[in-house]
Structure 1
Amino acid sequence: MTSSLQPRSAAAARGGPPRKWDRSIPPSLRPLVRAYALGYASAVVPRLFTLVLQQVTTARRGRGDGPDNGALQPPREPPVASLQRILRGGLDPQRFPTFCAALVGGSTLFEVATFTAACLSLKLLQSKASPGFTETVAAGDNETSSSTPETINYAGRTLDLSLFALTRALDVIIGELWSQRRKRGVADKQWTNFETAISNLADPTMFAASCALIMWSWFYYPSRLPRAYNKWIDSAASVDKRLIKALQRCRTKELRYGEDTGQASLLQGMCLEYKWPLQWGDPAVAVPFPCEVVHMGCGPSCEYHALSRFYRSFRWSLFTYLPLNLLLVARRPSFRKLKSALLSAARSSAFLGAFITFFYYGVCLARTRIGPHLLGRDTEARNRIDGGLCVGTGCFACGWSIMLENPGRRKDMALFVAPRAMATLLPRRYSLDKQWRETLVFAASTAVVFTCALENPKRVRGVFGNVLNTVLRP
């Protein structure tokens, strides 16, 4: 009797569950069931969280606490109906949960090659119609003026998933090659400090380069990013859209310093709002417009604006990170866990605050502090600086805030943003006859990752590696 209680007591001492939830499921079915459950949770839980936030916002408006109280609001679906729709939506056979089950089950239960299982499961997702990838056009007739509607379907709705798989496969391959090189170098006593530095800076560099592409796209080519991603960056950046439009027009040369191109009204609207001299907004007179316009009411000092940005961004981030960290502690509260949660939330908030600060201060460095000394102060140099160099400097600088994050989280964050950066270099939707290329890339990448997860689990890094190993184990 004592021996039968030992495993349960040991599990309790480690803080883990005394019994696995899938223990009653046959071992051969466990990977499939785990994959479906995980896919269902990832598809449903975020929508449930959004529903709760919407109900809280509605309740606040009803009490007069919300900013839009009294305004005409569009009719909303009843909460119970929304809940049922969300829960049922996760059961759709053409959704992510079934994809996860088909991929994992096909690779384990039915002993189908992972490559084949990946092809079939991705086809399942791609077969679902999506309004964003369907277009109805009028098909003209050469002989008559009449036309009939024609529906054109586009590919690309699974692009982010395919790029995620590709990123993970490249990480596995490059990581394995680098690990073997390191072993040989250490054995031959030829491993240098430079190579150690490369190992330590690989993830931060990947994160910084990915963020540079993402921020450049957000500023100049927002259509290359998902709508939700654009919306989140807009909220975090808290920048006046007129300033963005002015710098965009500097890049397209619609706005040129020293010339009257009819663009003065854009920034003069900001001048009236912030009570600045009206000539600050006229590019024919102000060459360039003062950096105080970039600061949006924080005064002329670039350094004070940077500190102000950090404070506001840190506070905004803390209201996001702290509740999530405290929610994790609430399961089994203790002083040690509470302290760790507070430190983790503060560190993550400092990282995001520095990210936003580095972007803005990078713009100021190029426009005011360094750029004019290197490129000159003439009109042509000012056009070049505001035509892309200042924004490019901010994009380059912001990602290095990752150095403030916990080293253990850097790899996860780098691998999270890398596929999104790759997506900015590709069309969000493309011709359906080229979809086989994406399917091939996804299947090959998934085969690499799954094979590595089964034969060398530690090579699949980060939280995703831990989750994948948990799902695939018998």
Structure 2
Amino acid sequence: MGPPTTTMKKTPSRIPLLMEQAGIPPSLRPALLTALRAYGLTWSITTVPGIIGVFVKALLQMSRTLAKTSSLLAASAPLRKTLIRDVPLLLNKSFSRNGFPYIMVGAFTGHHFLTFVLQHHLKPKVNIRRKTAVFLTAAASMLAVRRAFPNTKTLDFTFFALVRALDVLAHQAYDAPMIKNNVPAWMLDYGSVGVFTVACTEIMFTWFYQPELLPRSYSLWITKMSEMDDRLLKALRAIRNREWIYGKDTGLGDLLGDYAVGLGLPREMGNPMRGRIPCQLVHQGQPYGCEVYSMNRFIKGFIRIFPLYFAVHLAPHLLFRTARLMQNPSMSLLHILKAATRSSAFLASFITIIWYSICLTRTRIGHQLLNINQTRLDDTTAPLIGSMLCGLSLLLESRHRRGEMALYVVPRAMYSLTERVLGPYQKGRWWEPVAAEGAETLLFAGSVTIILSAMFKNQSNVRSSARGLLSWILKSELPAEEMKEKEEEEAKAVPENDHVSL
């Protein structure tokens, strides 16, 4: 007979024990755990990148100082300065001026506390539907954060929630028999490509002519990836604003004249009196034509973005699929390389298509073949066509990634479109900020209600990337939710007289 088997008892975590000792009701303990996860995750997302950026900047400055002085003590001064001053300041701002974690906590857990109060502290007791409670508390969270943290830019957050809610509704519609029977399958399969293309049209055309309508960080990222000289962009915008007129001296001759000299080209090539902006200037001085320049842009874009996409595809394997990675490292690495190559080809193609479409329109077809007025080509037509076609590069991505990329760009397009459509009507009237705040609050509360309802009722309607994150935040609630629904169904047979339904 072998030794007696022993049963290992799972040691309870410290936080539930502390809640029990504090006398927190059992019905609220899962909600408090959800609140901790929601706050911690949102705080990390909004703060950690800034801390990393501060350290990277300090390390770069340290390396430059070290190269000049060869003194490690003197070179480490920027790093010490960061540790002593900048990081604590950033941490202080992340707690005192960052409202996003509080929005998340209120949106995800507020309905539990509202229900608890109505059920245990009111006579007669009030039965409130979960959807109603989620909507009310999400709206209250948004309004409270806007008052307590006025510098928190909530519109991006609202658009993000709205797009995810629309995605849930799209999944529900996709499963409806009427849709499946009447809509061609190819339209459903490539719907995300169409959405991505429309969003990119709005984003890129806005970036060409009105970049101030886009979120600043996003506009700067596009500028960085485009590698387009700022003077060329200013000339393009001046053409649209009729400040640069071909054949006339409007005082902007030096703008591209200096740019041409910097490229080693004659100053006259940047003179508007000379006529259209030559392709060689657009091509950053490269003399071999539009097609060769486009191929160069593809190669440069691919090489530049590949390390980032390799890290993006490697991270999930290191964090969540370590066992599979260790069991078969060669196959896992091959899968990661294929995915990173595919994603890098997508972004490189995006850059190439927009550049070549513009060149094809303003030079090959518009100027050389059809002899269209060059001002019309440069102030609208060529950038618009390039913006419309670049989104087709998403066809290179996998089906799953297509949907994710569409969901990534749509909030930015909404931001730009809102500014473009509503901006001209803003006259500083007293009711405008009130109406804007009310509309944003309703959109946010409705979006959160749709998303959480899907998580509690039918998680298959939530896209896998969001579902995994939300499941982690709500993991203390989702198992208990199923039991609660069964208890509610059983309780319907024995209604209580002291309950009021909402």
Contact 1:90/1:97 (CA < 8 Å) preserved in 2?
Answer: no
Question: 1:255 Cα deviation (Å)?
Answer: 1.8
In 1, the alpha carbon distance for the partners of 2:107 and 2:149 equals 20
Other-structure match for 2:82: 78
Kept in 2, the 8 Å contact 1:412–1:462? The answer is no
Shift of 1:433: 2.0
- 1:118 corresponds in structure 2 to 138
SS in 2 for 1:29: helix
CA contact under 8 A between 1:313 and 1:352: conserved in structure 2?
A: yes
Q: Identify if the C-alpha distance between structure 1 residues 181 and 289 changes in structure 2 by more than 3 Å, giving closer, same or farther.
A: same
1:416 aligns with 2:405: no
Helix, strand or coil at the partner of 1:389: helix
- Deviation of residue 310 (structure 1)? 0.9
| Alpha-carbon shift at residue 362 of structure 1 (Å) | 1.3
Aligned match for 2:343, one of 345, 348, 364: 348
Specify the alignment match of 1:153 in structure 2.
Answer: none
In 2: Cα distance, 1:454 partner to 1:382 partner: 57
**Cα distance change, pair 23–416 in 1 and its aligned pair in 2 (3 A):** farther
Q: Please say if 1:106 is aligned against 2:98.
A: no
User: Aligned partners of 2:279, 2:7: CA distance in 1, in Å?
Assistant: 72
CA distance in 1: counterparts of 2:410 and 2:451, whole angstroms: 16
Match of 1:37 in 2: 40
* 2:58–2:79 contact (8 Å) kept in structure 1: no
- Structure 1 Cα separation of the partners of residues 12 and 333 of structure 2: 26
* 1:323–1:19 Cα change, 3 Å: farther
- What is the one-letter code of the residue matched to 2:188? S
The equivalent of 1:433 in structure 2 is 434
Give the letter aligned to residue 469 of structure 1: S
Match of 2:160 among 159, 164, 167: 164
Cα pair 2:61 2:78 within 8 Å, conserved: no
In the TM superposition, what whole-angstrom CA distance separates every residue of 1:226-279 from its partner, at most 9, and x where no partner exists? 221122111111111111111112212222223333332222222222233443
Q: Is the 8 A contact 1:94 1:128 kept in 2?
A: no
In the TM superposition, 1:57-456 aligns within 5 A as: 57-64=60-67, 77-92=81-96, 95-111=99-115, 113-130=133-150, 157-181=153-177, 185=181, 195-286=184-275, 288-326=276-314, 329=317, 332=322, 334=326, 335=329, 336-372=331-367, 376-377=370-371, 381-427=373-419, 431-434=432-435, 435-456=437-458
| Helix, strand or coil at the partner of 1:261 | coil
1:257–1:363 distance in 2 versus 1, CA, 3 Å: same
In structure 2, list runs of 5 or more residues that go unmatched: 20-28, 116-129, 427-431, 478-502
Q: Does the CA contact (< 8 Å) of 2:107 and 2:448 recur in 1?
A: no
Q: Which has the higher helix share?
A: 2
Aligned mates of 1:403, 1:3 — CA distance in 2: 57
Return the alpha-carbon distance in structure 2 between the equivalents of residues 173 and 464 of structure 1. Answer: 14
Report deviation, 1:403.
1.5
SS in 2 for 1:427: helix
1:291–1:300 Cα contact (<8 Å) kept:
no
SS class of match (1:102): helix
CA contact (8 A) 1:106 1:117 kept: yes
Q: Flag the 1:52–1:471 CA change in 2: closer, same or farther, 3 A.
A: same
Q: Relative to structure 1, is the Cα distance of residues 373 and 3 closer, same or farther in structure 2, using a 3 angstrom cutoff?
A: farther
2:37–2:473 Cα contact (<8 Å) kept: yes
How far off its partner does 1:350 sit? 1.7
TM-score (norm 2): 0.76
**Bigger shift: 263-272 or 324-333?**
324-333
| Alignment TM-score, normalising by the size of structure 1 | 0.80
Residues 346, 157 of structure 1: alpha-carbon distance in 2 compared, 3 angstrom cutoff: same
Question: 1:77: how far off?
Answer: 4.8
CA distance in 1, matches of 2:170, 2:134: 21
**2 CA distance for matches of 1:444 and 1:328?**
31
1:358–1:394 contact (8 Å) kept in structure 2: yes
Between the aligned partners of 1:403 and 1:21, the Cα distance in structure 2 is 49
Partner Cα separation in structure 1 for residue 140 and residue 291 of structure 2: 55
Task: Classify 1:93/1:393 alpha carbon distance in 2 versus 1 (closer, same or farther; 3 Å).
Answer: closer
Report the CA distance shift for 1:93/1:373 in structure 2 as closer, same or farther (over 3 A): closer
C-alpha distance in 1 between matches for 2:68 and 2:200: 37
* Superposition deviation, residue 360 in structure 1: 0.8
Kindly state the Cα deviation for residue 195 of structure 1 after the two structures are TM-superposed: 1.1
Q: Decide whether the 8 Å contact of 1:356 with 1:398 is kept in 2.
A: yes
> In terms of Rg, which structure is larger?
2
Whole-angstrom CA distance in 2 between matches of 1:109 and 1:85: 33
Contact 1:114–1:443, Cα closer than 8 Å, also in 2: yes
Look up the match of 2:57. Answer: 54
Aligned letter for 1:315? I
Kindly provide the amino acid, as one letter, of the partner of residue 153 in structure 2: R
| Cα distance change of structure 1 residues 309 and 416 upon mapping to structure 2, 3 Å threshold | same
Deviates more, 1:218-227 or 1:87-96: 87-96
For 1:409, give the aligned amino acid: R
- CA RMSD in angstroms comes to 3.3
Q: Indicate how the Cα distance of structure 1 residues 324 and 60 shifts in structure 2: closer, same or farther if over 3 A, else same.
A: farther
In 2: Cα distance, 1:353 partner to 1:445 partner: 34
- From the superposition, tell whether residues 228 and 205 of structure 1 become closer, same or farther in structure 2 (CA, over 3 Å): same
Length, aligned pairs only: 424
Equivalent position amino acid for 2:256 in 1: L
